[in-house]
Amino acid sequence: MSLSEIKLNVEAVVKEINIIDRKIKIRLMELGLNVGTKILVKNRSVMKRTMLVVFNSSCFTLKENLARNILVNYA
């Protein structure tokens, strides 16, 4: 299931990080995103390309194409 399909305010756990761009993958991991990280989708823009994702006690913007590559399980 892709991140963009899950409902808002439902906690999910990252199962796999499948981002091809190594620089962005590393940066997301440095910000605290990893396999097993609990994430929460707080908001989605009108075009659903950008979303607000909470992890590591902070709130980050995340593009839909990246979010799709973070596979999640509902907690």
Partner 1 sequence: MHKILIIGNPNVGKSTLFNSLTKSSEHTGNFHGVTVEEKHKIIKYKNEEYDFYDLPGMYSLNSFSFEEEVARNFALKFDAERIMLVDANSLRKNLYLCLQFLELNIDFKILVNNYDYFKKYSNTLDIKKLNDKLKVDCQFVNAKKIKIKDLILKNDEKSSHFHNFQKNSLINGTYLSKYIEIIKNKYNLDEKTIIFALNGIFDNLRKEQIDFIQSFYPELILDRYNYIDNILKDVLSVQKDFVYGLGKADKIILKPIITTLGFLFCFFASIYLIFFLIGPKISDGLNYIINFILIKPFINFLYSITSNVWLIEFFSNGVFSSILTVISFLPQIILLFLFLTILEDSGLISRMAYVFDDFLSIFGLNGKAIYIMLLGLGCNTVSSLATRNMSEKNLRIKTILLNPYISCIARLPIYVIIASAFFGSRAYFIVTGLYLLGLLIALILGFILNKTILKSDNNTLLLEFPPLRPIDIKHVLLVGRDNAIDTVKRIFFIVLGVGIVVWILSHTAFNLNYTSIITDSVLFYFADKISFLFAPIGLNSAGIVCGLIVGVMAKELLVSTFSISNNVSTIAGLIASLGVTTNVIHFNTATAISFLVFTLLYCPCVSNLAVIKKEIGAFWMWFAILSQFSIAYLMSFVIYNTLIHNIFYSLIVLFVIILILTAIIYIIKKIRTKKVICMFCNKNCKDKK
Residues that bind partner 1 (CB under 8 A): 21-32, 34, 40, 42-43, 45-47, 49-50, 52, 54, 56-63, 66
Residue closer to partner 1, measured from CB, 37 or 72: 37
Instruction: List all residues 6 or more positions away from 27 whose beta carbon is below 8 Å from its beta carbon.
Output: none
Nearer to partner 1 by Cβ, of 39 and 72: the residue is 39
3-class DSSP state of 65? helix
> What tokens does 28 get?
């997301």
**What is the smallest separation between the CB atom of 34 and partner 1, expressed in angstroms?**
6
**Which tokens belong to 67?**
């979010």
